[in-house]
Each structure stands twice: as structure tokens, then as C-alpha cells.
Chains A and B, each alone.
Chain A
Amino acid sequence: MSVHGVSGEDRDDYTKEESREIRLRSRRLLLQLVRPHVRRITWTMLLVVISAGAGVVGPAIIAYGVDTALPAILDRQDWLPLWGATIAYVVSAVAAGVLMYVYTVSSARISQAVLFSLRRRLFDHTQRLSLEFHEQYTSGRIIARQTSDLESIRDLLDQGLNELVRGILFMAFTGVAMVLLDPISGLVLGIALVPAIILTRWFQVRSTVLFRETRTTSARMIVYFVETMTGIRAVKAFRTERRNDDEFGDRVEDYRVANHKVISIFGVYEPGIIALGATSIAAIVLLGGIRVIDGTLEVGVLLATALYARQFFQPIQGIAMFFNGYQSASAALEKISGVLEEQPTVPEPVEPTALEAAKGRIDFDEVRFAYATGGDVLPALDLHIPAGQTVALVGTTGAGKTTLAKLLARFYDPTEGAVRLDGADLRDLSNDDLRRAVVMVTQEAYLFSGTVAENIALGKPDATRAEIEAAARAVGAHDFVSALPDGYDTDVNKRGGRVSSGQRQLLSFARAFLADPAVLILDEATASLDIPSERLVQEALQTLLADRTAIIIAHRLSTVAIADRVLVMEHGRVIEDDAPAALIAAGGRFADLHRAWRESLV
């Protein structure tokens, strides 16, 4: 079993090596994210130190005021030291406050910059990943990565760095002061660090596993949530609300338990560390007390070491909290780095072949295609389509028509052989060139939230309003769009709630029309249209397809009629290939289909 990429993401039984591998991956990502901000982090930390210093000056000034300024007034009527102390205090207060403002904003900038670049990187990467990945990795999980996992990282970045720096500095200074003051007490602290490290190690090992569990359970919960909300109509129509309540409730409970487990072990770790601190203070008092009585230690020194020891352990709570946040964020980074580790199975070429203006000649050269799960979909396809030809693909479900279309749109790469456009292997074309030349319209006409115009403009982001309207007019969508409340500026809202599926298809046709590609692939793109709309679309297609190559997959043979050439496919092979009239005349498979369709029309 592998833990590369997202595989094994749901497992909770990693071996030591696997666990190490994943952790390393997550740490690498963290370093990459933090590296660009090293300078800013450094000076922010410097501000933290100075500000902490300014805060520490306070008590010293008060001591000065009482010990020096007061006698000065009483003895010599000299008010200057008091004025000096007061002003110094005010200055240090303002300095501490302003510095605090600056470093708080600065560390927010750092944390937001890290989050921003991680979000963007994750978004970009998931967009690049091939369909094959998306078909297996549910959308809910990607959403979970982008939301709740990022939230964990944010918690770490927000809460902790200042505290950590302050805490460590404080402990270091106090520790040094102790050793200088009384080496024996310093030794006690040193010894206390051993169980502290053991306890920390225990917490680290346990919490790594448990935090992973929170990430997995939260993703499972989110996946379920998203799916319910996406399919709410079906949920209602088939009355699955109660079952969903139970199922979702279970996932909520799993997440709760996972969360609670993490919180519980932290609830042992934190008081554990504090108890250790208490024990070492008691030991210092004991050892110190004996030495005071023996006369080998000053009372003042004992008091100082006891108070220092107390101080030494105070910031440890903050550090423990930071560590907790770090563990949580690491678990999230483990999952995110897994997604980022996935490579697109349809990669962009490093040195793309330039394709200025595509003509639209298509060649399938000895193409074999099989899914990773096995089974040839296309055993050996050799197909050559001259530029400008309109080809219709006909055949039963599973004959390989859609696969052929997807290979041409480079949603997949062939297992063997090559698909070429104007003689260039699709694998050698840059994504931009390829997408400009080849556009595929599918039956699933997805609308994004935004206006109708924005949705059409997806075909050509810089299109003018006139171009958008012209495209809509060309496919016969203009009338219904104009009838919408705000015309082209109507918000289509969630999943096109207000637009019927036929209308959605018209809009996606308009998109394709606007994109104006050299090669157009229509995969069941007219299935949801009623007959008058389909007729309009076909009329539009007559002009649209005139000067470009087109591959049309349609069950309705009406669409086929506008084709120059028909391919009948069966089990991944082309069994008939000719002009439609010729095929009908020849009396083969297509002629049968055509007759059946004719009969169905009556």
C-alpha cells in the first residue's frame, strides 16, 4: 500500500515509515510556505522581543520611583527623578502598545499571506488535476481541504508565534539566570526537563494519530453535508431526511469523539507539565532550605531561585498550546500536501509545440485506451478527419463514443498511440493552445453562480456584451434570456435553480459559440432541448460548423443529418464509416437505427 498523494488518506493504521513519510511531506510544505516570509517573520519577532522588554521595564521603574525618587524628594526636595520615572513609564507604555500594534498587524499579514498562497496553490492544483482524479476524489473532500483544514492552519498561525517566541525567550533568560544564581537549582530544572521531554514525546505521538483522525472525520462529515445539499431535491423526493439525519449524526459524532480525544490528551499533557513544574519548585525549596540551614546558601538567593523557577514554568502553558496547534495544523498539512503531491495524469508539456491558428485536422493514430481499472474501451482506433469535416458518432451506450470525444478534448491521454491536431500530438500542445482550438460541450450544462452574461462569457472572458448577445441570439437563447427578470444580468443562482435544463443547454451552446474553436465536440449537447429549440440550434450549427471540424455524439439522429460523415461504433471499434445517405442506402447498422428513429417520430 502506498501513501503517495491522496491514497490511503482515510486509513488510520499507518506504519512507522509511512507516518514518517507523511509528516516529512507536511513539514516540507510548511517550510515552503513560510520561506518567502522569513525576513518579515524575523523583524516581527524582533518587535515582539522589544515590546516584551518594554513591558518588563515597568516594574523596574516603579522600584526606581520608590527606592530612589521618593528619598530624593524627602531628602532634597528634588522632584526631577520622579518626573523622570513617570515620563519613562509613559514612554515605555506607549512604546509597548505601539510595538504590540505593529507586530500584531504584521503577524496577521504573515499568516494571511501564507493562507492566501496555500489556498491559491491548492485551488490551482485541483484545477490542473485530471478528470480521472476528480472522478475518484469527491468534491466534498476538496472542499474540506480548502475549508476546515485551512482553518486548522490558520489557528496555528494566528494564535501562536508571538506566544512561542516570548515563551521561549522568557524560559531561556530565566533558565540562564537560575544557573548563574544557583547551579544546583539549575540542575534540578535540567533534570525536570527529562520527564517533560518524555511527556511531550508521548503527547506528540498520540496527538499525531488523533489529529489525523479529526481531519479524516471532519472531511467525512463535510462530504456528506455537501452531497445532501447538492442533491436536496432527490433527498426530499425520496424521503431520506431521517436516514440522513442518522447518518450525518453518526459522522458528527465521530468528529466530536475525535475532537474530544485530542482535547482530552491535551488535558492530561498540560496539567502534567504544570505538575512537573510544581514538583521541581518543591525540590528547589527543599534542597535550598537545607542548604540555607547549613549556611551554604543565602536566603535571598533561595527566594530568588524559587520565584524564578515558578516563572520558568509559567510560559510553558503557552508553548504547550502552540505545540497543540502545531500538531493540529500538521495533520491538516498532511492531507493538503497529499493533494498537492498528486500529479495530473494529463500533464502539460514542458516544451509545448506552438499552434498559432489551428486548422482542425484530426488524427487518431493506432489509439488504444483502457481505464486504470482495466478493460480496453478502445482497443485500436485509427481515424483521420480532415479539417472542416462534421462527423457524427453513433452507437449504443458503452461503444466508446464519449471516450473518443474525451481523448480528443484531452480529458484523458491514450494508453497507446497518439491523438493529433494538425499533425501535432495533443500531449505536446500547451493547455491554452489546445483549449482555444478544441472545445467540448457536454450534456451536463453546469452554470456557475453569477449572471447569465458571465456564464456565457466563460467561452471568451474578454467578450463584449454585444458579442455575448450575438452568441445567445445565434443559438436561440436570446428570447428567454431577455424574458428573465434582469435579462443578461440575471443571477442564475445555485445550480441554475431558475433556468430549466433545456435553457441551460442553450446557454452552454452560446458559450461554445462564443469560444469559436477550430474543433467543436458536442457530446449529447442537445439531449434536453425541446424540438423547436433543437431546430434553432441546428440551424445555428449549420453556420457554426461550416468552417470548423466537428464531432457530434447524438442519440437523436436528427442531429446526425447535418453531418458530412457518420461513424457507427460498437465495442470501441468503428464498424461503419461513410456519408449518412450512403450508409442508409447500404442497409447496415446505421440504416436500421435510422429506420427505428423514423418510426419513433410518428
Chain B
Amino acid sequence: MSSQPAAPSKPRIIPSLARLMPYVRPYLPRLLAGVGAALVGSLLALAIPLVLRALVDGPLTHGDRDAVWPAAIAVLALGLAEALCIFLRRFFVLQPSTYVEASMRRDLYARLQQLPVAFHDRWQSGQLLSRAVQDLGQLRRFLAFGSVLFVVNLMTLLVGVGVLLWWSPLLGGLFVLLSLPIVVVAFRFEQTYHQVSRRAQDQAGDLATTVEQSVHGIRVLKAFGRGRHALDGFTSQASELRSTEIAKARQDASLWMWLTIIPFVSYAVCLFVGVWLVTVDQLTVGQLLAFFATAVVLNWPIESMGFLYAFAIDAANASVRFHEVVDTENTIDDPERPATIAEPRGRLTFEGVRFRYQDAPADERDLVDGADLVLEPGETMALVGSTGSGKTTLTALPARLYDVTGGRVLLDGVDVRDLTREELRTHVAMAFEDATLFSRSVRDNVLLGVPGADDEVLDEALRIAQASFVHDLPDGIETVIGEEGLSLSGGQRQRLALARAVAAKPAVLVLDDPLSALDVDTEAQVEAALRQVLAETTALIVAHRPSTVQLADRVALMREGRIDDVGTHSELLARNEHYRFVLSSLEEAERNREVNL
């Protein structure tokens, strides 16, 4: 059920994490200060038992009453200093980590809004969401805890090994040598873990997609009673994720196991060799004890390397997933030196326009296959054609929801790709057949394209779209309509979407079958009102019905991706058989049927 466009290639941990640098750089001093505090803290933690021992063995044993208070105060001071270091580490590191997370999240969102519709067609929204929420959360935690601990524990480890070598080069060397298999284990771990980790992240994204679809498609699932079916699908996906997570835990566990066994076996060998060295007078008992006292301190840093390593791989994968989206080339971008149209008149020209999806097979004809069409300023053009002839695709081109793959679309003689998207979409407004409403007030939804507009514009638009029903809603035009306007009927949603396009007062209005869900009466009223608007506005209207065609000055007939014929409704009826087939045959069928009634 899932489609994942990007093939995950094996990421390298350091380069993947290094790509986060631009976000981290501003906070680098604080992060370093955090590492510093953490280092001091762990040194204190190491020192406190030694100091305790020294105090008890020294002044207190000698019965020096005056030494008791200073000793206690010294212990207190060290302990409080440790607490302070922990406080400082958190203080230095945690706030920056939340800032990094937030700014990455904002950038990802902004990038997603910029990326073309074709990108969103390809990518499932659950995958996008899991990147924006889970992955970035993971990165924040790595930054706040993982990276600092990693640095601190690594340094502790290096220092500790140095001390071991200092106590006894022979034993220390032996310990290092015996611990070398860890490198092999770690290497093998990385090979397999990064794949499972990535798979878990991807599967979590797919699961989010399924959840989203199950809610968005709830009416269909309910209508067919397919809740159980959907649950089965979800269950199998969730159990896949579960298996992946358990596989991940196995990898983790086996790394930890080796990280326990290898050093401990090394200690055992060191114990044997150490004792032997003492017997042959190569080592003193004191040195042997000191060696092991230090070795015990290293247990935790070694153990922690296991989960920190896994943590780092997770974070590297999260970074890769983030960059997969952010690095996607925006194929519909603003030109470097944008043209501008000072006084838009609304002349819309399609010149040999072609469009095909990038991944369409080579032998398939272009969806829009060389369409030529001119809309004069103020003209209303109906676009008629059978299902799949490319009408909707053609309407998406003027506002650059998709870019042509051949030919060009001109607005007042300027190629639409030479305008900024902001300007272009101010001139061209659209109403889609499946009316998308946002969970905002009716007012905000209608004035989406002209946020600053006053009530006059709003009322006018609502009047034209015959959407006066909004005044009967609980809070009138301030009513927050449900997400996707779910609590409104299809016809109501369509009228609000139409009102929105009208309110934008564009030079060119593109309407994709905007009246399909309206009843005949309402449709007639909307049409009457629309006529005034259309008198001054260039409009391209996808029409399935003769009644909608009536709105138009001329009709363009689309057939297999081309403009087959252009003329008035009656001209086309008279001369074009395909047009009659598309538009009027029903009428005839109707007549025949009525004879039978």
C-alpha cells in the first residue's frame, strides 16, 4: 500500500549529521559550554569518592575535631558543584536544541509549501508528517543528550585508557588489544542497524498515511462497512512496524551484549596476566589494584557507547530523511529576473502547450498534447471534453500548479513562468471541483486570496455564489467551518469555493466544473449572478453541462489533449460531431426516454 519515492541509500553518519551544521552553528558556543559543564560534572562525579576516602582516611582518622567541619563542607561543596554542572549542562544545551528543532520544522514546512503540486502528488502526507514531527524530535533529543554524552563519554574513555596505559603499559596494552573486536562488532552493527532504523522510520510514516486516509475517507469506509477491512490493513502495517522495531531492538541488544562481554573478558585476562606479572615482580599489588579501580570507572562509558551509537545512526537517518525533502529541487520557482504586468487585461494564450507527468511511460501520449487556445480579455471560454481529455490538467497550467512540459502559456503576452508566482496567482484565481475549505471562519475562507478585504467584498462574493446560507450558521460569517468543510454539504462547500475565487477579483478566473453539486435552481441563480462578474473577467470554465456552457461566450472542445474546435455553442453543435456527442447526446437520449414515459 505504500509508495516511497526516495530510495534510501546508505548514509554516512558524520556527513549526514554535519549537514545539520547551518542550524546548529548559532548555538555552537552554548553547546560547547554544555559539553564543558558535562565534563566538569563527570570529573566531579569521579573525584567525589576519592575525596571522601582521602578525608576519612586523613583528617578524620587522626581525631582532628577542627577538621570535621571543613571536611563536611568540602563534601557539600563538591556535591553541589556537581548538581550545578548538571543544571548548567541542561541550561546550555536544552534551549538551543529546542530552537534548532523549531527552525528546522519551520524550514521543512516552508519548503513543502514551495514545492510543486507534482511533489505532493508523489509524496504521501504521512511521510511528510513523520519527518516534521518524529524525525525532528529525534534530532533534538540527539542534539540535547546524545551528542553531548557522546563527546563526554568518548573523552572519559580516552583519558581512562591513557591512565590504564600509565599504570601498566603491558596490562593496558593487553586490554586495548583484547577490546579491539569491539570495532568489528560496531562496524557490523552499523551495516545492519542503519537499514532497520531507516525502515522503522519509513514504516512509521506509512502508518501515519494510513491513519490519515482512514479518517479522510471515513465516509466511504462507513458507507461500505469496511471498517474491519481498513483495520486489517492497518493491523498488518502496524505489525510490520512492530517486527521492524523488535529487529532493531535485537541489533541494539546484540551490540550491548558484546559491549558487556568483550571488555569484561578482557578484564578477566588482565586479572590473570596481572597476577602473574605480580608473581614475577613485574608489577606491584598497588599498581594492579589501581589498574582495576580505573578500569571499573570505564564500564559506563563503554556501555553507553552502544546506545549512543544507535542514537547517532537514528539521528543520521532522520537528517537524511529531512534533507530528502528539503533538497528536492523546486521545479516551479520564481524566475531570476521576473517580469511584471502593470495593468493586467487578462489575455490568456495557450501556445502549443504540452504536459506529461515525469514518470509517465515513454510510449504514452502527452496528457495535454499541443493545445492552442486564445482567451481575449473579458472573454468567457467554456472548456468541454469527455472524461480524461485533459481539461482539468489544462486548467492547472495558467496558475502554474503544474508547469508545461512543452509550449507556453502567456498572460497578456508574458510567459507565466516569467512572473513571480505571487503576482501570477494574484492575476489568476481558481475554484476547484473538490472544494477545499480550511478550518477557519467562513470569512477567512472566502477572503483567502484577499486577506485584507472588507465586508463589502465578502458580501458581494457570497451573493454571487448564492452562499447566503452562511448567515444561518451558528456564528454567521464568523463560524469556523470544519476541516475540509465536512459539516457543510457538497453544494455549500462548492459555493464557498466559488465565492473565494470571485472575491479574489482576478484578471483571469479558472473554474473547474464549479457548479456540479448545485441544484438546478441554485445553479440558475449563481449563473445569473456570475454573468456580471464574467462580463469583465477573463474566465476559463470546465463545463460538463449545457447549462454551464450557456455562461460562456465561446466554447473550446478538448479531445485527446488537443483543442479540437473553438466556437460558440450553436456553431459547435452545428459543425462538430464529437461536440454533439459530448454535450448533447444526453438531451436526445432524454427525449427518447420521455417518449417512453
Contact = CB atoms under 8 A, between A and B. Distances in A.
Nearest to B206: A449
A574 to B, nearest CB: 16
B392 interface: yes
Contacts of A480: 387-388
A139 B129 CA distance: 13
Contact of B425 (A69, A223, A239, A508): A239
A531 B137 contact: no
A432 B224 CA distance: 9
Interface string A103-138: 011001100110110011001101110010011101
Given A483-B388, A532-B582, A441 B129 contact: no
Given A147-B134, A234-B448, A397-B491, A256 B209 contact: no
A93 B261 contact: yes
B223 interface: yes
Contacts of A240: 448
Contacts of A461: 226, 229
Interface size class of A (residues with CB under 8 A): 35 or more
Contact of A396 (B84, B276, B421, B521): B521
Contact of B264 (A93, A232, A282, A524): A93
A502 B387 contact: yes
Nearest to A303: B56
Interface in A226-242: 226-241
A109 B90 contact: no
A450 interface: yes
- Most chain B CB neighbours (cut-off 10 Å) among A241, A397, A491: A397
Interface string B93-132: 0110011011001100110111001001111111011101
B2 interface: yes
Contacts of B23: none
A306 B56 contact: yes
A232 B117 contact: yes
A73 B432 contact: no
Interface stretch (A6-14, A21-29, A198-206, A593-601): A593-601
Contact of B438 (A86, A231, A307): A231
Contacts of B265: 89-90, 93-94
B191 interface: no
Given A93-B261, A293-B65, A442-B223, A449 B75 contact: no
A274 B517 contact: no
A268 B88 CA distance: 10
Contacts of A102: 253
Contacts of A186: none
Contacts of B99: 256
B426 A116 contact: no
B561 to A, nearest CB: 12
B451 interface: yes
Given A89-B264, A515-B224, A267 B90 contact: yes
Nearest to B278: A70
Contact of B275 (A55, A69, A113): A69
Chain B: interface size category = 35 or more
B13 interface: no
A259 B221 CA distance: 37
Nearest to A264: B94
Contacts of B22: none
Given A256-B101, A303-B56, A439-B224, A530 B386 contact: yes
A446 B219 contact: yes
A253 B57 CA distance: 55
A151 interface: yes
B544 A530 contact: yes
Interface in A421-474: 431-432, 434-436, 439-446, 448-450, 454, 458-459, 461
A512 B3 CA distance: 26
B564 interface: no
Contacts of B261: 93-94, 96-97
Interface string B41-83: 0000000110011011100110111011101110110111011
Given A97-B257, A442-B223, A530-B582, A292 B61 contact: yes
A287 to B, nearest CB: 9
Contacts of B134: 147-148, 151
A581 B593 CA distance: 11
Interface in A496-541: 497-498, 500-503, 506, 508, 511, 515, 524, 527-535
A257 to B, nearest CB: 8
A599 to B, nearest CB: 9
A289 interface: yes
Contact of A528 (B55, B214, B433, B486): B433
Contact of B76 (A66, A272, A282): A282
A572 interface: no
A397 B246 contact: no
B458 interface: no
A496 to B, nearest CB: 9
B258 interface: yes
Nearest to B114: A241
Contacts of B296: 58-59
Contacts of B221: 127
Nearest to A602: B546
B86 interface: yes
CB-CB nearest 8 A-B residue pairs: A278-B79, A435-B225, A93-B264, A108-B249, A497-B121, A282-B76, A104-B253, A600-B547
28 contacts: A58-B264, A65-B271, A85-B271, A89-B265, A104-B252, A109-B246, A112-B249, A146-B207, A223-B483, A227-B483, A230-B125, A238-B429, A270-B90, A278-B75, A285-B56, A290-B68, A396-B522, A397-B518, A445-B220, A446-B219, A449-B2, A459-B224, A498-B357, A530-B544, A531-B544, A555-B523, A597-B520, A600-B546
Given A237-B425, A558-B590, 11 more contacts: A100-B253, A135-B487, A235-B113, A236-B399, A245-B109, A289-B72, A293-B60, A398-B469, A449-B2, A498-B121, A501-B392
